[in-house]
Amino acid sequence: QKEVEQNSGPLSVPEGAIASLNCTYSDRGSQSFFWYRQYSGKSPELIMFIYSNGDKEDGRFTAQLNKASQYVSLLIRDSQPSDSATYLCAVRNPYNFNKFYFGSGTKLNVKP
């Protein structure tokens, strides 16, 4: 079982819609969770992190964490074609804070 699992997609949404990206993790002791965006041919860039149960909002982005169910989500409101990218979920190793586990990413296509 992988430490972090994501649906590879592609997920297609029309412009202006809400895109919902999901990630599950296997280690119940995990505490810190990160969402990265990666444009084709580019390196990952951090969108936001979350470590408390519930929702965390930053502009059009909302991260949701449910530790009991071991999943973390990223919602993108008012999706734009410029949001088209691969979104990587990352979980910090709870036993070695220097290490991260990454999912394989979900490809999002926002259609004009």
Residues that bind other proteins (CB under 8 A): 4, 8, 31-32, 34, 42-46, 49, 51, 88, 90, 92, 97-100, 102-105
Smallest separation, CB 108 to other proteins (Å): 16
Of 15 and 45, which CB lies nearer to other proteins in the complex structure? Answer: 45
- CA distance linking residue 55 with residue 89, whole number of Å: 16
> What residues does 50 pair with on adjacent strands?
33
Smallest separation, CB 43 to other proteins (Å): 4
Of 20 and 31, which CB lies nearer to other proteins in the complex structure? Answer: 31
Helix-, strand-, coil-residue percentages of the chain, each rounded to 5? 5, 55, 45
Q: Identify residue 89 by its one-letter amino acid code.
A: C
Dihedral angle at the C-alpha atoms of 22, 78, 42, 108, nearest 10 degrees? Answer: 50
Of 49 and 71, which CB lies nearer to other proteins in the complex structure? Answer: 49
Smallest separation, CB 21 to other proteins (Å): 14
